[in-house]
Chains A and B, each alone.
Chain A
Amino acid sequence: MSAIYILWLRELKKYTRSRTQIVASLGQPLLYLFVLGFGFGPVFRRAGEGSYLQFVAPGVIGVTILFTSIFSGMSLLWDRQFGFLKETLVAPVPRMHVMLGRTLGGATVAMLQGTLMAVVCLIAGFRPASLAAAPLGAVFMLLIALVFVALGVSIGASLQDLQGFQLIMNFLVMPIFFLSGALFPLNNLPAALAALTRLDPMSYGVDGLRAALLGAAHFGVGTDLAVLATVAATLLWLGAWRFSKIEA
């Protein structure tokens, strides 16, 4: 148990110490929030969909968590590169504990980043429907974080070096982001695109956040929770399995 705690703490320490990284990882979501938020605003309003900033804010919070989580999970690759991974692999603790400590640490960091982004959204003029929805919002933030840290760990444990990282970002993370409905409503999409969005776990995360913060859901809160919990459990299992296969 102390191993899980100390590795969780390590992720937090590394996070609070890398101020540049905190700012850098907020950069892209901020761009979406401000440039798209205010850029698409007039068109969105004319289409009768209300305020685009209101619409996009939950998506941007979700995306911040998505990016931070995947990156956290894949930081395994850096630990392999710089050698620290070996220190944990040769220790007399179950691999499962090492994996759990990293994953929970990464998820905590992602939630902190998401909360930071939520504050920025509030400052930018975003107004949630009611404050009572905050706990449900936190549940969805946690689920999104767990899903994508576990995915990051699975990928990080399966790659041998840093070269695959960019590939994963371009061909996995960006599609997950764009197909999630973070930037556009999922109503009335062409059938093929609608089918793809339904395959993307992030769609349910964004939908859940929107349900919690705005009170309007596309799939429904029950579906969102069920899908995310199932995907999280599956990916945690996959991550633990991939992690157990790493050769020190």
Chain B
Amino acid sequence: MIRVRNVVKKFGQVTAVDGISFEVRTGEIFAFLGPNGAGKTTTIRMLTTLLPPTSGTLQLNGLDPVAQRAEARKHFGIVFQDPSLDQDLTAWENMDLHGALYHVPGAARRERAEMLLRLFDLWERRDAPVKEFSGGMRRRLEIARGLLHTPKILFLDEPTLGLDPQSRNQLWAHVKRLNEEEGVTVFLTTHYMDEADRVAHRIAVIDHGRLVAVGSSRELQERTGTHSLEDAFIALTGASIRDEGASAADRMRQAARMWRRRT
């Protein structure tokens, strides 16, 4: 379903992703883990056509996100790290707008929107403006919206950031159910190891732009001789804190972006 071959992404002098290769199988829930600034979001941005790779090839459901951008976009849904709803519109209007942007015909759009809103426990609140929603409701609405055009792949970039344990639990229960019922392939990133452990079939660990391990939670634990995914993760990526490195890299990226805009 997803195929990544020797993909490199450089921002000026900074190499954010340094020659990664992996595959995600159809119907799989695949977790992409790594410390801050490891290259997770950059990889998602490349897979979702928002950023071209410096070198290497990507494939989504057989499509090239660079050369076949418009077509590739119909095949995935994405929930970004930061919210992307229109808060002045209602839940229903956000769904409807998405359906129009993705060319879902009217009757099918309404039917699927209703099904998804019911599934995510938002049907009763469909006519309330999104600004009245809690963080958990907004996240659920974003996932429901991302699934409206019946994508083959769903990208979730840290979808549970800032949610309470109840909302996190509920959200993953919904995602698992959709994965089982519709067979949608899920590609997710998260900082919560327990979530990856519980929902993901396979896990890839990325650090400093390189893949350091791919396998099931159990395989990663066996390989590192640890007894929890969290310990395995620390064993694979080290115990040092990455905030400083990450923010320096972010600043470089920002500078590179600004510099590019000027020319």
Name A residues whose Cβ lies closer than 8 Å to a Cβ of B. 2-3, 5-7, 10, 13-14, 17-18, 79, 82-94, 245, 247-248
Q: Are B50 and A90 neighbours in the complex by a CB distance under 8 Å?
A: yes
On whether A91 and B73 interact (CB within 8 A), knowing A13-B93, A83-B80, the answer reads yes
CB-nearest residue of chain B to A6 = B100
Does B127 make an interface contact (CB < 8 A)? no
CB-nearest residue of chain B to A97 = B101
CB-nearest residue of chain A to B76 = A90
CB-nearest residue of chain A to B86 = A84
Given A83-B84, A92-B70, 11 more contacts at CB 8 Å? A2-B103, A6-B97, A14-B89, A83-B80, A84-B87, A85-B84, A86-B80, A90-B73, A92-B103, A94-B70, A248-B50
CB-nearest residue of chain A to B81 = A83
Q: Shortest Cβ distance from B193 into chain A, in angstroms?
A: 27
| Chain B, interface residues (CB within 8 Å), range | 20 to 34
Q: Which residues of A contact B87 (CB under 8 A)?
A: 82, 84
Q: Which residues of A contact B103 (CB under 8 A)?
A: 2, 92
In the complex, what distance in Å separates the CA atom of A225 from the CA atom of B102?
38
CB-nearest residue of chain A to B45 = A248
Partner of A90, one of B48, B83, B88, B257: B48
Q: Are B82 and A83 neighbours in the complex by a CB distance under 8 Å?
A: yes
Q: Shortest Cβ distance from B150 into chain A, in angstroms?
A: 13
In the complex, what distance in Å separates the CA atom of A89 from the CA atom of B70?
11
Q: Which residues of A contact B100 (CB under 8 A)?
A: 2-3, 5-6
Q: Shortest Cβ distance from B217 into chain A, in angstroms?
A: 30
In the complex, what distance in Å separates the CA atom of A2 from the CA atom of B93?
14
Q: Are B89 and A13 neighbours in the complex by a CB distance under 8 Å?
A: yes
Q: Shortest Cβ distance from A159 into chain B, in angstroms?
A: 11
CB-nearest residue of chain A to B98 = A87
In the complex, what distance in Å separates the CA atom of A226 from the CA atom of B101?
35
Q: Are A82 and B83 neighbours in the complex by a CB distance under 8 Å?
A: yes
Q: Are A83 and B49 neighbours in the complex by a CB distance under 8 Å?
A: no
Write out, one digit per residue, whether chain B residues 224-263 have a CB within 8 A of any chain A CB (1) or not (0).
0000000000000000000000000000000001000100
On whether A247 and B257 interact (CB within 8 A), knowing A6-B101, A86-B80, A86-B84, the answer reads yes
In the complex, what distance in Å separates the CA atom of A6 from the CA atom of B48?
23
Q: Which residues of A contact B80 (CB under 8 A)?
A: 83, 86
Q: Shortest Cβ distance from A76 into chain B, in angstroms?
A: 13
Q: Which residues of B contact A93 (CB under 8 A)?
A: 70, 101
CB-nearest residue of chain B to A84 = B86
CB-nearest residue of chain A to B155 = A90
Q: Which residues of B contact A88 (CB under 8 A)?
A: 101
Q: Which residues of A contact B210 (CB under 8 A)?
A: none
- Name the residue among B50, B89, B97, B98 with the largest chain A CB count within 10 angstroms: B97
Q: Shortest Cβ distance from A241 into chain B, in angstroms?
A: 13
Q: Which residues of B contact A7 (CB under 8 A)?
A: 97
Q: Shortest Cβ distance from A88 into chain B, in angstroms?
A: 7
Q: Shortest Cβ distance from B146 into chain A, in angstroms?
A: 10
On whether A87 and B84 interact (CB within 8 A), knowing A92-B103, A93-B101, the answer reads yes
Q: Which residues of B contact A83 (CB under 8 A)?
A: 80, 82-85
Q: Are B102 and A92 neighbours in the complex by a CB distance under 8 Å?
A: yes
CB-nearest residue of chain B to A17 = B88
Partner of A92, one of B50, B71, B78, B86: B71
Does B74 make an interface contact (CB < 8 A)? yes
In the complex, what distance in Å separates the CA atom of A90 from the CA atom of B78?
9
- Name the residue among A10, A79, A90 with the largest chain B CB count within 10 angstroms: A90
Partner of B88, one of A2, A18, A245: A18
Supply 8 A–B pairs (Cβ within 8 Å), ascending by A.
A2-B100, A10-B86, A13-B93, A84-B86, A92-B71, A92-B103, A94-B70, A248-B50
In the complex, what distance in Å separates the CA atom of A86 from the CA atom of B157?
14
Q: Which residues of A contact B93 (CB under 8 A)?
A: 10, 13
In the complex, what distance in Å separates the CA atom of A27 from the CA atom of B4?
56
In the complex, what distance in Å separates the CA atom of A94 from the CA atom of B82?
23
